[in-house]
Structures are given as C-alpha cells and as structure tokens.
Structure 1
C-alpha cells in the first residue's frame, strides 16, 4: 500500500511538473515581439535613404501641441517636408535623429541584446505603430524656431551617416531661423558613454536681440515596460522621476499624470523616464533655475524642463546646453552625470543597505568572473556576517525540538487547564534556559538585509542576460525547467524537518504547506533570486544540523 502511494504521488508530481511547463509555454511572459520587429525594421533601413518603414516625424498641426509654449510664442506657419533621417553610431549607442526638430526618435543599445543571444540590440527609444518613446529638444520663446505652433524647424546636416571613429564624435545640424539668426544644434558623443551633450549655438547676425528659451522633454505613451519580463514578484517602477532642490527623487507615474500636472521651478535638477534596467533623462546645464513639468497631450505623456529666457545681442553668439542620457542603469556613469541620478536604480527604502551590497556583489564578480558565482559568494558572506545571530536562533529552535516531547506531555496533562499548562511551560523554560522567542529577534534583524539583497539582484542590469552554468543562460529570467525552484522547495522541507513541530496541529499543517506554496511562488522568479534563496537555505540547513548535533551530543554526555 505504501509503495502504491509513493508511486501515485510521484506520478502526480511528474504530471503537475509537465503541466506547469506547458502552461508557461502557452501563457508565460511574452518575449517582446514588438521590440524585435522594431529592431528588424531599423536594421533594414540603416542606409542613407529614408523609406516608408522608418519612423516619421508627424506633420499635422495638432501634433505639435506637445511642444511647450511661452507667452511670446509665434503664430502658425506652413511646414516643409522632413529630410532624410540621420543615423549616428557609437560603440554603445545607435541613434536615429529626425532633422525635423532634431529629435532623437530611436535609440538602440548595441551592448545590450533585445533578447537572449539575439543579434539585434535592445531598443530603448522608438517611434512607430507599436510604441512612442522619443527625446525632443529645441528653442521656444520670442524668436525660438520651435515656438511656431504646428511646425518644427527643418535642420540640415552635411551627412546622413555618422560613425564614432576615435574618442569623440560631433554631429552638427544647422538652421537659419525666421529672424535670420544662425542656429547650430550640436550632438557630442564620447566613446563608451551613453550620454549625449546637446548644444544650441546661436549666432545672432541680425540687428535685434534674439530672445529664446531652451526646452528638453521625453515623450512616451503608456505602453508596458518591454524590459520587465518577469510576471510575478516585485515589479520595477515604470514612470517619470524629477529631481529638484526640495525633493531629490520624486516619482510621478502615469496615473499621477492622468490626474494632474506636475510643475516645479528649481535650480539645476533633472528629469528622467525610468523602467526596469534602463532609463532616459534630460539634465540641463548647472547654474540656472529651470522649470520642470509633466503633461498629457493627445494620449502621450510628456516630462521635461524649460530654461529661463536668454538673450543674444546683435553680432554676438551664445551656447545653451543640456545632457541627454539613454542607456542602462549603470551606477558609475549615472553618478558622474548628475547628483542623485544614480537613485534611479531604485533599491527602495533600504537603499542604505542595498548600495553596499551591490558594491560587494560587483567586487566578487570582478574576482570570480561569473554573476551566478558572485550571487553564491555574497550569500555566503552575508550568511557569515549573520552567523552568530543565526546561531542563537537555531540553538533556540534546537532546544525547542529537543524538549518537544516534554512540551507535548505537559499539553496532554494540563490541556484542559490553560493557566496551569502555561505555568508548567514557564517552569520548563526557566529550568532548561529556553527562550521561546529566541529564534524571532535574529530573524527580524536579518530580514532587512535579505530584502535589500533581493532588490540588488532585481535592479542590477549586469544580471540581465548573464549566464550561470548549464541550461541557465539568463539569471534575470526564470528557470525554464523550474529545477532551481523545486530544489529550493526541497531545502525548505528539509529545514522544517530540522525544526521543532508546532504544538498546534493546524499550525503544523500550515507549516507543511509552506514549501509547496513558496515553490509555486518562486517558479516565475528570476533564476538569480532563486539561486540566492537556494544557497541561503542550504547554508541554513548545514548550520542547523551542526547545532542540533551539538545539543544532542551535550544531552548524551549529560
């Protein structure tokens, strides 16, 4: 009978496992089909000529309502056709710039694949039928060429193809404004950097002052985050972030923008659009007071900044600047670009624990050369740092387990008299020096460390498409065969076997269900996170087993 039961349970487990695999194939997280199509279209149109497949700047009068205006904005004028898109490539950026307005309408990241082992780069910015996410900038105000409602200025460039060959690359777009002033919109790129310095050089060759305002903004629709591929567990933030003198990191998500506009005037600062692993941001030049705002126009979400009015005297020239970032949440680069920009790597309220853990994880990786081994290494180090706290908890649980039969006897003897049973239990605790709450405090102390480490593993772009060993080729994605979650569930069951059985039968049944529930919950977690929990459980089992043996040996000697 027992053999039949074991065979039945094994068969049921196998069928359940196969059903979960099939369910994942049918209904699991999608693999960014729209992004792959975008990259393909981009690759097919990388030449000098503009084709119908390339994203186009809009030409209808209502579309330009997304450009911010000032009280001195001009009236409507006709708009000419756009020129050929300008293709700019560096070692880390692959951009398309529309000469109509000089906007960045597509940004691919060659160092980050769209999909695992894909030959196509991840596309952060794009403008097509699937998604709108672009970076706009220009000059508005009295004489600004972008001030005209329904029209964007048409810049010209010497080439339509630019490739970084050296340490820096400068791309100039030129324009003669209606006032007669000569304007150069200059993009400056540096090797290995995701930032783009955008300069507007105004050469006033007229007899009157040239008055204008610099703006930079990010326009995005409300589509889901294409880099968020995990369907369960904590989700990374998707939305805008503003940094001002009053609040160095203020989230304004799409729901907030649906309800009201955000507006603030502050010295310096920045604005960003954040998603899992990647972000885009405008950082105006320091030393001035800027107006930051969010708006929703024609179903599009816009966040950006406006500079104070500047004036260029006749015969003079002036340069106004801003920096645009489009790339991964790379701590080192973000720290160099602007104060607090690294906070877009959101570790939550435990950032003060998570940041050192991230630096430790990165250092371990520099030694072992594998992010999976780095996760194992940091788990061991964290476990070692908390060794004595864990030892106290495990000793308390071991004593509870040792005197479990005696506690059961007292419960059976005084079960009808709860007051008497409590008195006898307290006598037993005092006699054997048992602290029934001894296992709680150490666990509570180490929980912030575990949660912070969870967020480090969740937010680290370095883990995206990072292989471990064998079939696990992406630690940021779930285990395709669910082997790690199942092993994690087994280790939880072993841990329960080493711990005392709760005296309450209902509580004991619930505890037995926990490994099953946690296993199911972890099925769709990123493999790196499951690896962390698995290693942590194995270390806990080893420590608990040794402590149990020590207490049993002490009892035998006594």
Structure 2
C-alpha cells in the first residue's frame, strides 16, 4: 500500500508540475499589443535616406553579405502613388520606390470574428513595420546605387485579377541603358507570388548584380494572437538550409548575434500564429541566408550568387514570396520543409496523423466540432481494450473495497504486514492497483498533440460549432464546456473505488476541481474532446461495473 501511495502521489505531482509549466508558458503575460486603429500606409523612405542602410551589401555575397550598406547621400521620398493589387486571396500595396510589398491583407481571413475586415499580415504604418523587400544589389544593381532605392514605373496604379493569373510589371532604365523589369505574377487561389527580375542589357558594358529578398519587421507582438491569455505560438524567423531544414532564430537571438549560412536552395520565413511570410529563392544555386538588426528593425533574407548579363543580352532571376495562412497543402507545394512552419511541437509524430484524420472527418461531417467528436470516438475505439482492462481492475477494487478496509483495520499498525496481505489479495483476484492510471497516462500524449493541432490549424480559426460557440480555437466564453467536463470527471470518480488511504482520497476528490480550473481558458475544441472522452469512459466503465457486479451476484 505504501508503494501504491508513493507512486500515485508522484504521478499526480508530475502531472500537476507539467500542467503548471504549460500554464506558465501558454497563459503567462501575453505579448500581444493592444488593438489599435490601422494607420495610413506610408512609404518607408524619407529625405534622410534611412531605409537604404537596411539593404544587404553584395559586392561579394559570400564574404560581406552580412554588412549593411551605409548611405550618406539624400534619398528622394516616394511620391506616395502606391500600386494596388487585388486577387481573390490577396490585397497588396506595392511601393514604386524599390518595388517592395508594404501591405498585404488576406480577404479570406477576418481580422477578428465577425469583424468583416480582412486580416492584415504585412503593413508599413505608424503602428507596425512588417514588409517584404527585394531587388538587385552588387556591382551594377540599381538598389546598390548611391542615390538609394530605384523608383519603378508602372502602366497602372491599380490591378485586379480577372482570369486565372495576373501579371504586374514595374520597369526602370539605368543610366547605362539597362532595362530592369520587376514582374509580379499572381494566380487565383494562391498566396505565393512569383517575383522575377528581367534584365535587358541594351548598353555597351556587362551588367553584374545579386538578387536579394528579405523580410523586415519590428519587434511588436503578434496581432494574430486573439486573446489576452491565449496560447502563445512561436513568433520569429525560421531558416531552412541543407544543414538544418528547420532552424528558429527569434528576435532575442537576433539581438545577440547575426545568423548567416550558405546553402543550396532553402528558404527563410517570418512566422507567427496561424500565418507566415517567406522568401523561397529559385532552386539550383548556392544562396547566402542571413539575419540582421538595423535601426531596431529585424531583417532576415537571402542573397543569390552574382549573375552577369553581357551587353546586348537578356537574363532573368526570380524568387517566390509567400504571404498567407499556414496551409499545409500550399506550403508543401511551394518548397520542401516549408510545411514545418506548422509547428506541432515534440509530439508532431502524433499530431500530424491526428490533423490528417481530423481534416478527413471534417470533409465528411462538414463541422469542425463534429470532427473533433468523431476523432474522439476513433481514439477511444483504438484504446478500447486497454481502457477495458483498466476499468475491470478498478471495478474489482470497488468490489473488494470492504475487504481492503478490513485488512487496514486488522493490520493498521503493521504497515509491512498490511502491504503483504494487500499484495496477496491483488494477486489472488488479479487486480492491478495502478490500472486506473493507465487511461489517463495513455490519453495525455494524444491530448497534448491535439492541443497543438488546434493551436496551429488555421482551419479551426473562427470555426464555429453550435450555438454560442463560434470559435473552437478560443476558450468557451461562458465556461459551460469546462464545467461539464469537471462534472463528468466527478461522475467518473463516483464509479471508481474510493482509495483506502484518506490522503489519496482527498487528492482524488480535488482532481475535478483542478482540471476544471486549468480547462477554463483552454480552446473550446480541446475541452470538447476531453468532455466527449469522459462521457464515453463513463459509459464504458458503467457497463463493466454492472458486469462485475452481476458476476459477483451469481457467485
């Protein structure tokens, strides 16, 4: 009995400790910034030429790519004629000065539930800086000129997707007779944009340049975190190279030192809850990946090898830019390992199949809440026999509870003798005193994995169930599901035998209260899973108890 008590107390202490750690990580002080009205989008460039120093130097991409350019000359301010581009899934603003994407809204995703406003991923205004930059630096690159970023011209100031694809061309001609066309190509239903630089060297000298793509972001919080005490997903940069296919470099890392790596192919991304932006250079070359911090702005990006265009020749270089949700189907198509930005934690090997199963059930039932109920039933069915053995062991302990009480009264002062007699009873009646812990221990990895699935799956963002629950990714606003879950835990305890040790009995009675408290702020979808699981367990345990009692009556 002493061994049983020690093991039970240790198990409860471990579970409580893990839950406190998870609580501290997920529900500690939120980093979310207060909601602010969206400020007017502005060009990043002013009369002081500040932004020019944020561009990478690429005279020698392999050795000095991590050294920022210093520009002492004046930079002409953008005239404010931003270029508007609209597709079915993207609403962009492109600054003709540099051709940077300084605003990206996602009309398929609301900024908040029932807000009727598109979620804004990229923006350049008084509240936040988060933009995508690209250009040509190096020996003859127009972005490396002493006068700062080049000003492109465009045939129109507004473009809208009407067919299956849309092409937006920005052009400029250098004083050496080289025409550079920066071409953005959009496709219906796609969040990735093909960014191509077409160089036509009509001059008399060869043209040499390096393609760069980078993401510039300040250190403000994650606007896609929807609650003040909600789950905290990773916020920061991710690099994928041949040496490490998924390497996180957060803002704190960039404060301490620069990241730099060279790799064939790869990609760089800026990740937040549910959404990300990423640069994926064209496969087939050795690229330099780097991070820098300049003027309190975090910059992560890539540099291509130097390319040369002879006089009278033409050449193009390109990269793909993605700005959108963490959609596993699209991410898998864009680049290898880009789907890893959907971070399921260390239990990814359970979470990934759970997500695929959940998604398949949703295609059948058409409701994510029903899909969660469906996956609960399937998991319960898979663990049916294991749970049945555990419930039979608990039912037998309930049946022989009077005998255990008698042994305690008989040998109460001799703990060693009492433990020996209890072990004899367990062996004779084939009772596993720890069998009741198995269902919870087996369920915990599934529970934690589903926790990450619900947190990372953008499909569940603003996904309704029934009635007042309009967002399964957020907590139950009226705490009805957590309270019902606590009630079902209490009913389960009523069906279990009361531990003979008073300390154990008190601890077990506290569990429903403790779990209910922790579940108050969990996503409604996760609480729904645990509630349905408890209901199924109660039904299974009730039937087994009746079977054991029936067999005892016959004896």
Output the TM-score relative to the length of structure 1. Answer: 0.89
Distance 1:352 1:209 in 2: 52
- 1:80 aligned residue: 76
Distance 1:457 1:127 in 2: 30
Distance 2:475 2:260 in 1: 40
Give unpaired runs (5+ residues) of structure 2: 1-27, 61-68
Tell which deviates more after alignment, 515-524 or 121-130.
Answer: 515-524
Pick one of 163, 168, 171 that aligns with 2:165. 168
Residue pairs, 1:216-227, within 5 angstroms: 216-227=213-224
Distance 1:552 1:392 in 2: 16
Indicate conservation of the 8 Å contact 1:135/1:217, yes or no. yes
Indicate conservation of the 8 Å contact 1:102/1:137, yes or no. yes
Deviation at 1:33, TM superposition (A): 5.9
Does the alignment pair 1:204 with 2:204? no
Pick one of 36, 50, 56 that aligns with 2:43. 56
Residue pairs, 1:473-492, within 5 angstroms: 473-492=470-489
Output the TM-score relative to the length of structure 2. Answer: 0.89
Tell which deviates more after alignment, 233-242 or 425-434.
Answer: 233-242
Report the secondary structure of 1:146's partner residue. Answer: helix
Does the alignment pair 1:123 with 2:154? no
- 2:22 aligned residue: none
Deviation at 1:280, TM superposition (A): 0.5
Pick one of 315, 320, 330 that aligns with 1:318. 315
Pick one of 373, 381, 391 that aligns with 2:370. 373
Report the secondary structure of 1:211's partner residue. Answer: strand
Deviation at 1:230, TM superposition (A): 4.0
Residues 74 and 120 (structure 1 numbering): CA distance in 2 closer, same or farther, change over 3 Å? closer
Cα deviation digits, residues 19-59 of structure 1 (max 9, x gap): xxxxxxxx998998646x22xx5xxxxxxxxxxx3322222
Distance 1:90 1:161 in 2: 11
Report the secondary structure of 1:63's partner residue. Answer: helix
- 2:5 aligned residue: none
Report the secondary structure of 1:495's partner residue. Answer: helix
- 1:472 aligned residue: 469
Tell which deviates more after alignment, 62-71 or 330-339.
Answer: 62-71
Matched positions, count: 518
Pick one of 330, 334, 339 that aligns with 2:327. 330
Give unpaired runs (5+ residues) of structure 1: 1-26, 42-52
- 1:556 aligned residue: 553
Residue pairs, 1:431-470, within 5 angstroms: 431-441=428-438, 443-470=440-467
Report the secondary structure of 2:444's partner residue. Answer: helix
Distance 1:178 1:421 in 2: 97
- 1:250 aligned residue: 247
Deviation at 1:520, TM superposition (A): 1.8
Residue pairs, 1:20-419, within 5 angstroms: 34=35, 37-38=37-38, 53-59=40-46, 60-71=48-59, 76-83=72-79, 84-148=81-145, 151-232=148-229, 234-419=231-416
Deviation at 1:79, TM superposition (A): 2.4
Deviation at 1:231, TM superposition (A): 4.5
Distance 2:396 2:89 in 1: 58
Deviation at 1:63, TM superposition (A): 2.9
- 1:429 aligned residue: 426
Indicate conservation of the 8 Å contact 2:407/2:421, yes or no. yes
Cα deviation digits, residues 295-316 of structure 1 (max 9, x gap): 1111111111111111111111
Indicate conservation of the 8 Å contact 1:386/1:446, yes or no. no
Residues 415 and 150 (structure 1 numbering): CA distance in 2 closer, same or farther, change over 3 Å? farther
Distance 2:437 2:334 in 1: 44
Report the secondary structure of 1:57's partner residue. Answer: coil
- 2:522 aligned residue: 525
Tell which deviates more after alignment, 541-550 or 162-171.
Answer: 541-550
Report the secondary structure of 2:145's partner residue. Answer: coil
Indicate conservation of the 8 Å contact 2:225/2:231, yes or no. no
Deviation at 1:453, TM superposition (A): 1.9
Distance 2:540 2:501 in 1: 26
Distance 1:102 1:480 in 2: 44
Cα deviation digits, residues 3-29 of structure 1 (max 9, x gap): xxxxxxxxxxxxxxxxxxxxxxxx998
Distance 2:44 2:240 in 1: 30
Cα deviation digits, residues 327-386 of structure 1 (max 9, x gap): 011111001000111111111122222112111111111111111111111111111111
Deviation at 1:254, TM superposition (A): 1.2
Indicate conservation of the 8 Å contact 1:61/1:149, yes or no. no
Deviation at 1:220, TM superposition (A): 1.0
